[in-house]
Structure formats: structure tokens, C-alpha cells
Structure 1
Amino acid sequence: MRHGGITVTVIVPAHNEEEGLPATLESLARQTVPPDRVIVVDDGSTDRTGEVASGFGATVLRPPRNLGSKAKAQNYALPHCDTALVLAVDADTVLAPDYIERITPAFDDPQVVIAAGNVQTRHTRTVWERGRSVEYLFGFHWHRPIQNRANSPMVCSGCCSAFRRDVLVASGGFPERTIVEDMDYTWSRQIEGRKAVYVGAAMAWAADPETLTYLRKQVWRWMAGFCQNVRLHTGRLVTRKPLLAVWVLLALVEILTAPLWWAAPFVAAATTPASLPSTLAWWLSAELAFTIPPLAYAAHRRKLPLARVLLNIPCVYPTKVVNLYYAWKALIVELLLVPLGLSQGLTVYEKGRAPTPCAAG
């Protein structure tokens, strides 16, 4: 039964998603509370994306040219939405069958204008996917619930966020001024006094970068977008949403101090070579003490084998190196060079996955 009579339109922006799109559309077709309409924006695809979408009964919209970003593709579909809620779903994301059923009750509170669920990795085949799986388990079972209890989520994930349509339209649609529309919208509406909500029981699985090449593209977009939002919103965050400003400050402090933490064992060894084994043991113990308990809790919640989760911990460190490199690059480019007029910052939207091969025939 549809919760409170709330109606839902799903927007799926898709560029060359012939292979991955069916799983997304199948997950939408299996919803215990089916959406009223599914719109696929075939954004300049050169494969059979549009035909695949039509085969699943979706409404297919084709812009006259590639729009160049997810937000622009979503805005192209927005005038075709007349339901109470708009659910934005990435073309590589699979929703649990009860996702819509679990996300819609959040909007019983009239102040809630955006809500998103718990995102985990669809695949754990490569080092990068396994590292990301650890990050997601930690973030969505530790950071997000704390932020949600404090009524100040840092971001409602753009791969599966539900929006109150009238507010979305009145605010100008999906933000196009930064490279990460989900964080921009989450911060903007909270600054206005509206609510963003994390719904941990609503599950979604996203396809993450399989290779270093595409992980770098995705992380650079995320980090640059975060810093773009810091540049855009900091003043109003401090005065109108101070607790969210605290989370942002903690994230910046973590970026700035991470090199010191990573270098600590080697600095200690350089000054006192004999202390290297004990220093490394202390450092590793501290790392595991902060990492294992949240992961054990997450594994319990997700009913995952704990041993399998723990075996993925070493994979998170190569991912952390990539995160840290692009976080510092974003700080320099977006918070220093852009204000000085020496750079335009990141303006080109690039997907974090390689194009899927077209089917033969």
C-alpha cells in the first residue's frame, strides 16, 4: 500500500548504460510500493540505452545533445514530473525491493525535503571496490547515523535520494553550480531551515570504480565538489546551521592532519631508529581500535560474515591514499587558486566507471 497516498516519479539519468541499466530498472519494477512513473534521460548515448529503457516500460527523454552532467540531465526531466516526490536514481544503482516503501515515511514530517538511504557496494572484485566497501560500511553505519541523530546530515547520496518536488522546483531544480549536486542541495536546504534525513533501513547498492583510473576521476569529482561547497556555503553554515558546519570543519581537519598521522611512525623511526617496531605496533593498534568496532557493528547489521569484512581492511589503505591526494588537490585548487582567479576549478563532469561494452549482435 502506498504510504499516505504519496506519489513518486523516478528519474534515471543515463549515458551509455545499455549493460548496467537493466539491473536498475528491474529493481524499480520489483518495488513493493511501485513508482507512479519512471523517466530515463538518455543523455547523448551512442549505445542502446534508450531502447533498453523503453523495453522496461520507462518514459525515455532524449535531449538534443549531451548535457554534460547528471544535474542537467535530471533538470531536463523535472518538468515532466507532477508527483509529490522525485526519486533520483543513478543508472548503476540497484534498490532493495522495499526502498520506496521505507523512504517515503520520512516525508510525513513536512519539514523534510530530501531523504536518502544506506548505500553499499554492489561488487567487491577488485582492490578498489573492496576498499570502497569498507568505507561505505564505516560511513553509513557510523558517520551517517550520528549526523542524522544530530539533524545535520553531510550529504544525501545522489544515487538514491528522494526529493519533495514542489521545494525542488521552487529552489531551481537540481543545483548545477557545483560538480556534486547532492551535497549542494543537502546543505542549501538545511541552511534554509529545512530537514535532510538519512534512512538507514532503505538499502541501495552502487557500482563503484573497478580501476585506479576511474577511482581517481570519481574521487577528484567528490573532493573538488566538497571544496566547492565549502567555498560557497561556509559563511551561511556557520550562522544558520552551526552543527553541520562542525562536521565540515572536522572533515577539513581530517584532511589537513592525515599526512601527519600517516607519517608519524616514519618520523619517529627517523629520530629514533630502534623505536620503529614499537611505533608501528602502536600506530597499527590505534588504527584497528578505531576501525574494527564500527565495522563489526556494520557487519552485524548487514548480516555479513565478519571475517570477510575484516579481510577487506588492507584494501582500504590504497583507497585512502587516493582520497588524500585528491582532497589536498581540491583544497589547493578550489579553496586557494579559484578565489585568487588562477583556476576555474573542476567544471567537467566525468563518470567514475568505464563505459560498459556493448552487447554483440
Structure 2
Amino acid sequence: MRRPEPRAHWALLALVLVFVLALLCLNGYVTHAGAEGTGQPVPDTAAPAAPTAVTGGAPVQRIAADGTVTTRGMPAKTIALTFDDGPDPAWTPAILDVLDRHRARATFFMLGAQINEHRDLVRRAHDEGHEIGSHTFTHVPAAHTAPWLLRAELSLTSNAIAAATGVRPVLMRPPYSSEPDAITGTDYDGLRHIADAGYLVVLADHDTDDWRRPGATAIARAATPARGAGAVVMLHDSGGDRSQTVAALDLLIPQLQREGYRFVTVSEALRLGSAPRATAGERWRGTAVRLAQRAGGWLAGAMTVLMVTAVALAAIRLAVQVWAARRHRRRIRGQQQVPRAHLGRVTVVVPAYNEAANIAETVRSLVGSDYPDLDVIVVDDGSTDGTADIVERLRLPRVHVIRQANAGKPAALNTGVRHAHGEVLILVDGDTVFAPDAVGRLIQPLRDPRVGAVSGNTKVANRGGLLGRWQHLEYVIGFNLDRRMFDIARCMPTVPGAIGAFRRAAIRDIGGVSDDTLAEDTDLTMAIIRAGWRVVYEPDAIAWTEAPATLRQLWRQRYRWCYGTMQAMWKHRRALAQRGAAGRLGRRGLSYLLLFQVLLPLSAPLVDVYGLYGLLFLPVGKAAAVWAGFTAVQVATAGYALYLDRERFGPLWSLPLQQILYRQLMYLVVVQSAVMALLGGRLRWQRMTRTGAATAHAEATARAVAPARATPYHAQVTARRLTSNHLPGPPNSRPERYPEDTMTGARWPVN
């Protein structure tokens, strides 16, 4: 029974990404990421003047709904010390210690975001008898903030204070405010909005400008009122180095206390009574916002670490790929100096299921190979489009057709292997077109008795349109960087089904082609390596294949590949703890696949969300520079791969557009595959609709490049022609018969 593919995980993924983006945006808003250097707003000189009742009044002001202004000042010999912008983990405790030492109380106008970060300091200040007022949530200028945003800032701060202290604030000081006579008409509009929210506005009699750090003595002098007068004194306990402010308090408070001054809170001085108790809803909302803010900060930090790690891994990967590619290229050049050898009869097995569009040219390209001793076996696996009939009508020599009931691609491959006569086998998909010299070049590494399989170089035939160009670049990069690196590291995880040569003894050792996974080529390759054979890459053995022409076809193909690769990785997981060739596959190949083809793609949606967060909260120039840098590295990498493969650089222009759609599609494939793997789902074979594009492209390309790439094969054959009996196997090869009981496979359902 096939389980249906899950669907709810897409909605869950979307909700998680929205939630993550919301947390990151909250963190960005709280920390004002990208707002460096904004400073104090420039006064609007064209705005009308504020009412005289405000500019000529006392510092504590109540503004009624009808615009009536009532102000009050401090009684004689009464000082209300006020501190803005806190709490701060370094300076707020120092100021509290000074106040406690001199038995003075003060009023702290705190930022809601800072309250959420340092709740213990707020509780300490409240428990020691100090008053907590609002200073907005993120220090926004009231006069230049939209009314709805200002209301939100005041509400968030009120809830933060309620969650920390259990009371609701009644006092509010606007950021960037000072003494009443400095209020402009624009400032007054902001004060009206604050008053509408139910707050008393607290300005200052003495603005000490302690943020300028003029010295402790100057700060104390600026805070001292006229003889016998009361005052509201503005100081700061956050926003920078406040050591001078702390020192000034130790000068100011004892001096004025000796003169009979008392230091109390604003509400105590004006007999306003105790602050109202906060409701349960206010405390709950404050706690929820605090948790969200803390989670957003943690998430932003974690995403930064993830991004740095991903960049570092990508840089290391690129460096290793380039080093391996250069070394592999030098090795291939050395091998090309050796004349190509005849390795006896070679049998090409072509499993075919509904391949009418390409099968004729596939077979023709194989028969037209310059290798002189070649048989072709086409195994028709229950096709319904006349695939076998097309091959038979060709009446080509050395081509044999075997018909069987639909049993699956592994079963078709095993059938072909059973009927093969040569000790060298080439397994080819039914939509692949070979270059004339591909067979001869592909089998040359098998001269080394340690080599059990060889990967050829697959190219995309239908390169028209963006989708075709993107797949072309992906193939070139994968074959010319990844496969060269795998070859050097001796951990090649996949010989592609499109073009691969195998020693019969290697396939015999592992019991034939398994149907345990959907990626039978990956499973086969990993099994061969674990059996002790080497698998290498031959870049000059070229074949063309037809890539998916639509996003739907691409999704289905890559979904099967990715899911099958995960199956193969799980099946061969014990290689991680083994020694020798199996250990190299496990610790190098499987680890690489797990990291770069599973884990990093699974994290890619979060990286995209983080990128959107950067666009919203980082300077546009900085975000653009980072994106341009990544793109430049990708273009350079693709360009180097094209250079290695002697391909034109024209498709490089489409690479930046890959980030818009293609990359997202690929990592969503990994997400879907991982979900299916975790749920234990089963996939049916997803067959791609063929158009014959590989045939048309290969004909033109082969005519153009074949004469320049190789001379006729017979001219390069060594004098001593090897027969199948001269092909040695590795020490662990077994001479027993090919096990017939392993030749059955799961059905290959009709699409």
C-alpha cells in the first residue's frame, strides 16, 4: 500500500517561516538595525509655535482633550532626579547603588525594549521605591512618529512595565525632549497624542546634558537649582559611558541634602498617589512580547551564526573543488598521452520504458561509436508506445531487443546484464545520445584492475529558455567540480544512469542492481565502492540527455532523485564506521552529501527569510553588496566549470536569476523528500515526458566537435588487443555465477 504524499507540511512550513520572519522583524525593530546615525530629529522651524501654556509652564503637564494645559512644578527644596533611556546592565545598578547609599529616590523613564531585556533591574528599582515611567518602546521621537505607531510604542512599554512591576505607568517623557521652552508646535502635536493615551508628560527644569560627558562637576552644577527652588532634573542611565553621571550624583546629592533638599519621585512630590495596578491581560501581554523579543534576538544571533557557517563551508567547499579540479585535470592530461586500449567486447545495456522519442537516436549513436567491438542490448520493460518496434525496424547490426513485462528499471538492467557477453558493461538510459568517441573514452580507466566503475560526462541537450540554461549550468558544475572532487577523494557516490561503465565482476560482487531505492544508480555505485572497487570520472566521455522542460517535470525528477539519494545514504550508512574504501565513501562521500545536499538545503528557507529581514532592516547598500558578492562567487565558479568542460560562457548571464526561482524549487524538493523519508512514504517512478530534444542537439553537436576531439579509434588501438580473459578483477572478486535470485525488481509503473 502506498501512503499518500503529505500536504499539511507545506502549510506548517509557511507558518514557521512567517513566524520566524515576524520574530526577526521584531528584533530588527527593537534594535533599530540599520538606523545608525539618525540622531535627534531636526526641529521643524516652519511649524507653528506651541501654546504659551506649554512653553511657559512647569515641567509636569496635563493636556486635556480640548487642548487645555495644566502644569505643575516641584515644591520648594524638592528634587526629582529623572533618568532616561535605561535600564542599562552596567550603569543602572551603579546609579541605584548611589541612590540607595544616600537614601534618595528617583524616577526612571525606561524604554520598553530595554525593560524586556533587563527585567530584574526594573524590579529592583521598583522594589527600592523608585518610580518607573514610559520613554516609548524603542526611543522614537513622538513628534515625528505616526500616531498609530506611537500608540503601539506606548502600549508595548506599558505592558512591559506591567509585566515587570505589576503596576501601570502614569508618567511619560518623550525622547529627545528637554525643558518646556524648547517645545515646538510639532512637538506639541506629539504631546497631544501622548496625553490622549492617558499620560502625564514630564519635561525638565534642568537638562544636564550629561550625555555630552562634560565632567562630573559640570553635571552636578547643571543639576543644582536656584537657592531653595525645587526642580525636575534630567539625567541618563544608558546610551553610553555614564561614569560621569554616577560621579556627579555622589557630588550633588550630599551637597543638596546638607542644604535641606529631599530627593523623591515625581508622583511623591506632586502627591499623585500610587501607580494603578496592572490587569492580568496587561501583564500577560507584556510577558508574551518579552518572550517574543528574546526569541527574536536569539534567532537573529543563531541565523547570523548559520550564515557565517554556511559562507565558511561554501568557501572551503569551493577551495577544495578548485584544487581537486586542477589536480584531476592534470591527471587526465597525463592519461591522455597513453594510447587508448581495446578492452575486448563491450556490451551496452539500454533499459527502455516508453522512450519512443529518443530511442532510435540513442541506439544509432551507440552503433556509430568508434569502438570496434560493441554489442547493444535494448531491454523493453513493457513499453506501450512501441519502443521495441522502433529499435527492431532499425535493423542495425549488433543490436538486440529483449522484451519483458513491466518490472522496473533495476530488473531491466539485470536482464540486460544476464544476456551480456562482454566483461565490460555500459549502462545507458533510453534518452541518452553518445558522442562517437564516448564509449572508447569511457572504458579506458577500466584498464586499472582496481577500477570497478566509471562515470561519464552528461550534458543537457535542450538548453533553450531559462530552465534549460539553469539545468545546463547545474550539470556542468556538478560534473566538472563535484565529480572531479569525488574522484580525487575516492568516494564517488553516483555513476549516472545516463552514461556509466562497469566491470561485470563488480556488479557480480554486489549481487546485481538493487531495487531497494529509487536512485538505483547511486545505490549501485555505493555498493560497488563498499565491495572494494574504485569508481572514477572520465570527463571526455560525453553523452547528451534530455532535461525536464517544465517546472512540474523538473520537480518530479528531482524529487525522485533526492528521495532516492536519501534512501541510498540510509541504506549504506554503516560505511561511516567501516575501513578502507567503504570508510572513505562513508566519512567523505556520505558526510558531504548529508551536509551539502540535505542539511544546508533544509536550512535554505531560513536563510531566505534572513535575507528578507536584511533587506528590511539593514542598509540597502550593504544588503546589495552581500548579494552581489555571493552572485559574483557563483558566476566565477560556474565560469570555471564551463572552462573545464570547454563550454561557451554565454549562459552565465542567467545565473543571477537562478536565485529567484530555481534555487527555491531545489530546496523545496529536499524539504519534501525529507518529510517523505521521515514519514516512511513510498514514491512511484516519475517518468518524464520526452520530446526528442536530445536527438536534435546531439546530432548537431557531435558533427561539430567530434572531428576536433578525436582521431578514429582504430588508429589508437594498442598493438596487443586485450580479450575479456585479460581483464583482471580485484582481490575480493568472486568467481561464482551471477545470482539469479537478485534479478527481480519492483514494478516500473506507467506514468
Normalised by the length of structure 1, the TM-score is: 0.88
**Helix, strand or coil: the match of 1:17?**
coil
Q: Which moved more, 1:209-218 or 1:35-44?
A: 35-44
CA distance in 1, matches of 2:541, 2:691: 28
Aligned to 2:688: 352
The residue type paired with residue 629 of structure 2 is S
2:603 to 242, 257, 266: 257
Aligned to 2:254: none
1:313 to 631, 640, 655: 655
Aligned to 2:542: 203
**Helix, strand or coil: the match of 1:146?**
helix
The residue type paired with residue 662 of structure 2 is T
Contact kept, 8 Å, 1:119 with 1:140, in 2: the verdict is: yes
Aligned to 1:5: 343
Aligned to 2:736: none
C-alpha deviation, 1:102, in angstroms: 0.8
Aligned to 1:228: 567
C-alpha deviation, 1:174, in angstroms: 1.2
Cα deviation per residue 1:149-197 (whole Å; 9 max; x = unaligned)? 1111121111111111122134221121100111101111212322111
Q: Which moved more, 1:113-122 or 1:25-34?
A: 25-34
Contact kept, 8 Å, 1:25 with 1:56, in 2: the verdict is: no
Seen in structure 2, the aligned counterparts of structure 1 residues 120 and 323 have a Cα distance that, compared at 3 Å, is: same
CA distance in 2, matches of 1:14, 1:77: 11
The residue type paired with residue 316 of structure 1 is Q
C-alpha deviation, 1:228, in angstroms: 0.6
Q: Determine if the alignment matches structure 1 residue 247 to structure 2 residue 247.
A: no
Aligned to 2:103: none
State how many pairs are aligned. 344
Contact kept, 8 Å, 1:255 with 1:327, in 2: the verdict is: yes
Q: Percent identity?
A: 28
Q: Determine if the alignment matches structure 1 residue 50 to structure 2 residue 391.
A: no
CA distance in 1, matches of 2:632, 2:608: 14
Aligned to 1:16: 354
Seen in structure 2, the aligned counterparts of structure 1 residues 47 and 17 have a Cα distance that, compared at 3 Å, is: same
Cα deviation per residue 1:86-128 (whole Å; 9 max; x = unaligned)? 1011111111111111111211121211111111101112332
Seen in structure 2, the aligned counterparts of structure 1 residues 9 and 165 have a Cα distance that, compared at 3 Å, is: same
**Helix, strand or coil: the match of 1:3?**
coil
1:323 to 666, 674, 681: 666
**Helix, strand or coil: the match of 1:140?**
helix
C-alpha deviation, 1:139, in angstroms: 0.9
CA distance in 2, matches of 1:356, 1:148: 32
Q: 1 or 2 for the larger relative contact order (CA 8 Å, sep ≥6)?
A: 1
Contact kept, 8 Å, 2:559 with 2:670, in 1: the verdict is: yes
Q: Determine if the alignment matches structure 1 residue 281 to structure 2 residue 625.
A: yes
**Helix, strand or coil: the match of 1:5?**
coil
Cα deviation per residue 1:278-315 (whole Å; 9 max; x = unaligned)? 313312321321x1222222322333332x12123145
CA distance in 1, matches of 2:668, 2:595: 18
The residue type paired with residue 66 of structure 1 is N
Q: Determine if the alignment matches structure 1 residue 294 to structure 2 residue 608.
A: no
Cα deviation per residue 1:115-146 (whole Å; 9 max; x = unaligned)? 11111101112332221111011111111111
Seen in structure 2, the aligned counterparts of structure 1 residues 266 and 232 have a Cα distance that, compared at 3 Å, is: same
Contact kept, 8 Å, 1:295 with 1:309, in 2: the verdict is: no
Aligned to 1:110: 449
CA distance in 2, matches of 1:100, 1:325: 36
Contact kept, 8 Å, 1:103 with 1:202, in 2: the verdict is: yes
Seen in structure 2, the aligned counterparts of structure 1 residues 38 and 351 have a Cα distance that, compared at 3 Å, is: same
Q: Which moved more, 1:3-12 or 1:148-157?
A: 3-12
Normalised by the length of structure 2, the TM-score is: 0.44
Aligned to 2:158: none
Contact kept, 8 Å, 1:16 with 1:356, in 2: the verdict is: no
Contact kept, 8 Å, 1:7 with 1:36, in 2: the verdict is: yes
Contact kept, 8 Å, 2:514 with 2:520, in 1: the verdict is: yes
The residue type paired with residue 132 of structure 1 is Q
CA distance in 2, matches of 1:193, 1:181: 19
Q: Give the alignment of 1:142-157 within 5 angstroms.
A: 142-157=481-496
Aligned to 1:30: 368
Q: Determine if the alignment matches structure 1 residue 187 to structure 2 residue 526.
A: yes
Cα deviation per residue 1:314-351 (whole Å; 9 max; x = unaligned)? 453433222211111111221x222xxxx3x32x2122
**Helix, strand or coil: the match of 2:521?**
helix
Aligned to 2:499: 160
Seen in structure 2, the aligned counterparts of structure 1 residues 182 and 62 have a Cα distance that, compared at 3 Å, is: same
Aligned to 2:65: none
C-alpha deviation, 1:355, in angstroms: 7.0
Q: Which moved more, 1:348-357 or 1:201-210?
A: 348-357
**Helix, strand or coil: the match of 1:42?**
strand
Q: Determine if the alignment matches structure 1 residue 138 to structure 2 residue 510.
A: no
**Helix, strand or coil: the match of 1:312?**
helix
CA distance in 2, matches of 1:35, 1:134: 34
C-alpha deviation, 1:34, in angstroms: 4.0
Contact kept, 8 Å, 1:214 with 1:354, in 2: the verdict is: no
CA distance in 2, matches of 1:216, 1:266: 25
CA distance in 1, matches of 2:438, 2:577: 34
Unaligned runs of 5+ in 2: 1-338, 694-751
Q: Which moved more, 1:242-251 or 1:211-220?
A: 242-251
CA distance in 1, matches of 2:421, 2:676: 40
CA distance in 1, matches of 2:438, 2:557: 25
Seen in structure 2, the aligned counterparts of structure 1 residues 216 and 35 have a Cα distance that, compared at 3 Å, is: farther
Contact kept, 8 Å, 1:191 with 1:237, in 2: the verdict is: no
Q: Which moved more, 1:219-228 or 1:17-26?
A: 17-26
Aligned to 1:267: 613
Aligned to 1:86: 425
**Helix, strand or coil: the match of 1:263?**
helix
Unaligned runs of 5+ in 1: none
The residue type paired with residue 250 of structure 1 is L
The residue type paired with residue 476 of structure 2 is L
CA distance in 2, matches of 1:175, 1:305: 38
The residue type paired with residue 282 of structure 1 is V
Cα deviation per residue 1:212-250 (whole Å; 9 max; x = unaligned)? 121111011001001111221122234323222332232
Q: Determine if the alignment matches structure 1 residue 59 to structure 2 residue 400.
A: yes
The residue type paired with residue 296 of structure 1 is G
Which structure has the bigger radius of gyration? 2
